[in-house]
Amino acid sequence: MLMGIGELPKVFVIFLAAFLACVISTYQGVVGVDKTLINAARVLGAKDGRIFARVVVPASTPFILVGMRVGLGSAWATLVAAELLAAQAGLGYRMQQAQLYYDLATIFVDIIAIGILGLVMDRLLLLAETKLTGWQERR
């Protein structure tokens, strides 16, 4: 209500959906950094900034990328919901309009498009995760 009825509230809700998942996952990654690695860097003379850049960020990268994938899913679902409720364009809006005229073909095509776009975005993040965390042991 504070932001009005334009696009800003929708963008803010989508941002919150993605941001919170990313922050929580990143926090878990930073907290879980092995203290031995930090102590080894200190013994070798590294200062706090260098430890953060060379030890904490690389060790947290898998968690950050998982948070981004979860955030992407949340943002995508929130985007479609926001379009279904109050939008003048987008796949959700098209589905809402097709519902009024019982146009099942359009609804199914939009659902498939939403699924394909979500899958492509997720696979792109998975590819980035594979490239950025190639050093990580896979199970």
Tokens 């690695």: give the residue: 37
The percent of residues above 70 in pLDDT, for the chain, comes to: 91
Alpha helix (H) ranges present in 44-90? 48-51, 57-85
**What angle is formed at CA 49 by the lines to CA 47 and CA 54, rounded to 5 degrees?**
95
91 contacts 114 by C-beta, under 8 angstroms: yes
Average pLDDT over the chain, rounded to whole? 84
Q: Is the overall model pTM greater than 0.85, yes or no?
A: no
Is 56 or 99 the better-scoring residue by pLDDT?
56
- Torsion angle of the four alpha carbons 34, 39, 45, 48, in this order, in degrees rounded to the nearest 10: 60
* Alpha-carbon span 107 to 127, nearest angstrom: 30
Q: Residues 103-136: pLDDT tens digits?
A: 788 888 888 888 898 899 889 988 888 888 877 6
**What angle is formed at CA 92 by the lines to CA 86 and CA 94, rounded to 5 degrees?**
100
What pLDDT does 27 receive? 93
Is 137 or 119 the better-scoring residue by pLDDT?
119
Residue range 7-132, CATH number: 1.10.3720.10
Domain range summary for the chain, segments of one domain joined by +: 7-132
